[in-house]
Amino acid sequence: MTIRIAMWSGPRNISTAMMRSFGSRADCAVSDEPFYGAYLKDSGEPQPMADEIIADMDCNWGNIADAMRGSAPNNAQLWYQKHMPHHMIGEIGINDFPDHKHAFLIRDPQRVIASYSMKRVQVKFDDLRYDRQLEYFESAREQSGAVPPVIESTAFLSDPEGHLRALCTRLNIPWDEGMLSWTPGIKPDDGIWASHWYDKVAASTGFGPAPGPPPKLDGAAAKLAEQCRPYYEAMRKCALKPREEKS
């Protein structure tokens, strides 16, 4: 029986590198933001490559949910699904996946907003939806009766192996050394938007170093970061701590 892992991440995080990590396992299939096309079609957001993405993907919410609950590609033992809470504007939500193992990937909003600015993309609260990520976290906790795993990306990059081992333990899947590295390049399972967004991860062969201090923001960007912060901090309290997981 396939174990389905839904990783709920905000944008401009290490979500694609995490997908690479799981995709490096011989026993794991991956899916890259399967609801992205439906989100773009229903929202009308003028994001890069929107028309191409909509044309390339199934944009029916129910069809996509059925596929994510269905047979795994190549009948893989594990199926890692990379999801974005801000994409979920249709009739489908986290409660439609009761048999998935849910995990959450968070990043300091200052770093996220600064990363967007490097791409010269304006960002607003609805592009990030830290509030929905927290809502989904609480739903998953209520659904399972246990605190779902949360990974804080900056802490993760200070100890990828420790965090990955702890994550595997919490997901009740075996550890695989292959999760620490991968071959460079765009992968067949990447969304067609990879050419615009995945330049750094495509050049990588593993997780990067831990970043320095958060960048300083001002004006509207600083206000947006503070609007997002309470939701981020609420989840950060539950973030994995590898040393505690071992004890």
Structure tokens at 50: 């929107």
The CATH class for the domain spanning 3-246 reads: alpha beta
Q: What is the mean pLDDT of each run of 10 residues along the chain (247 residues)?
A: 96 95 97 98 93 98 98 97 97 97 97 81 89 98 96 97 97 97 97 93 96 92 96 98 72
Per-residue confidence (pLDDT) for residue 247, from 0 to 100: 43
Distance, CA of 196 to chain centre: 17
Per-residue confidence (pLDDT) for residue 197, from 0 to 100: 87
Q: Is the dihedral of CA 48, 52, 57, 58 positive or negative?
A: positive
Nearest Cα neighbor of 234 from 143, 94, 109, 85 is: 109
- Confidence (pTM): 0.95
Measured CA to CA, the distance from residue 144 to residue 140 in angstroms comes to 6
Per-residue confidence (pLDDT) for residue 120, from 0 to 100: 57
